[in-house]
Amino acid sequence: MLNHRILSRFHEPLKDRAEGRHAWLDACDWPAARVSEQIPGIEVYVGSRLSAEDARRAERLRLVHVVGAGYDGIPLDALGPGVTVTATHHHGRSIAEHVLMSVMMLSRDVLGADRALRSGQWRNVAVDAHLPFGTTVRGRRVGIIGFGETGTEVARLCQAVGLRVRAVRRDPSAPVPDDLRTDWIGGNDRLPDLLSESDVVVVTVPLSPATRGLIGPAELAAMGPGAILVNVARGPVVQEEALYEALSSGVIRGAALDVWWSGPPHAPSRFPFQRLPNVLMTPHHSGHTTDTFAARATEIAENINRLERGRPLTNVVRAGAAEAA
């Protein structure tokens, strides 16, 4: 069963790459009741969300393949012991390009210039002597919180345009790719150093009990009034009210937010971020490129083929009984 609206646009290549005789059910437009009706006979579920009730009713389920890196929408405890859960990535480069674009837009106040020109006003330093100059990014310092696929790709692009890179991650002793040159990489205990020493802070860590609310009033104050925050992780990693207050009062210079505290059909936040001139708002689409989802479709098909052949699966986040044996 394929129950993912974006990946359903790659349904044909996904089916073509999967070997064997699979009966695919494209359930992305199904009502919840129909999914529940079909779930007891499903062997492979491809999606990012599954209710606990459906997980318990999935008697034949062998594999849940999440369409992305985050699996917080899958109730692991409700799945049977034989069910393996795997993830997929391939979003690092796409998100990294979005991060670099956002930093440059905020550094040059592209948002303000765009709004002014649309309203008929020329807004640049040639006509307004009080308008601040924009800044280039070369030589500025970017601090990356989390150094997995997304964090390392952000580092590569930032390094390519002359930004100086430092990062914190859970295991600071893990190998660093040979092509990366960083000022330093530390453990999570060095977060205060990263915040105070960076002009740009990029959040890329997964949401977990340890990272929920990681960036609050003290952390934002440590960044300083010239700093930019970019969040491409999960909204709740940053404290909602604290960020709004910091942006509206000038505690930090600006923010690019691609992830939020709520989703459709609700407003993205309880606070009116849309009224702030120093915020770049996007609807969690930084990784939504053809490259990302074509590669994900290929990897998901390959994992299904591995399951049929009895071979080890890739990107396992929760091993079923057979996989763990």
- Give this prediction's pTM: 0.91
The pLDDT assigned to 22 comes to 76
- Convert the pLDDT of each residue in 155-190 to its tens digit: 999 999 999 999 999 999 999 999 999 999 999 999
CA atoms within 13 A on the CB side of 29: 2
Residues with catalytic function: 234, 284
Question: What is the rounded distance in angstroms from the CA atom of residue 60 to the CA atom of residue 65?
Answer: 15
User: How far is residue 48 CA from its own chain's centroid?
Assistant: 13
Q: Predicted confidence band at 154 (pLDDT cuts at 50, 70, 90)?
A: very high
What's the chain's average pLDDT?
A: 95
Q: Residue 178: what pLDDT?
A: 94
Tell me the pLDDT tens digit for each residue of 90-107. Answer: 999 999 999 999 999 999
Element holding 157 (H helix, E strand):
helix 149-160
pLDDT at 195 over 80: yes
| Full set of structural domains in the chain with CATH | 2-90+289-324 (3.40.50.720), 92-281 (3.40.50.720)
Q: Is the pLDDT score of 81 beyond 60?
A: yes
Give the containing element (helix H, strand E) for 45. Answer: strand 44-47
**Rounded Cα distance, 97 and 112, in Å:** 21
The per-residue pLDDT for 11 is: 86
The confidence band for 85, taking pLDDT boundaries of 50, 70 and 90, is: very high
From residue 131, alpha-carbon distances to 17, 86, 134 in Å are 55, 51, 9
- The lowest-confidence range among 2-16, 42-56, 158-172, 270-284 is 2-16
Q: pLDDT (tens digit, 9 = 90+) per residue, 216-226?
A: 999 999 999 99
Does the pLDDT at position 325 exceed 60?
no
- Among candidates 39, 20, 37, 81, which has minimal Cα distance to 318? 81
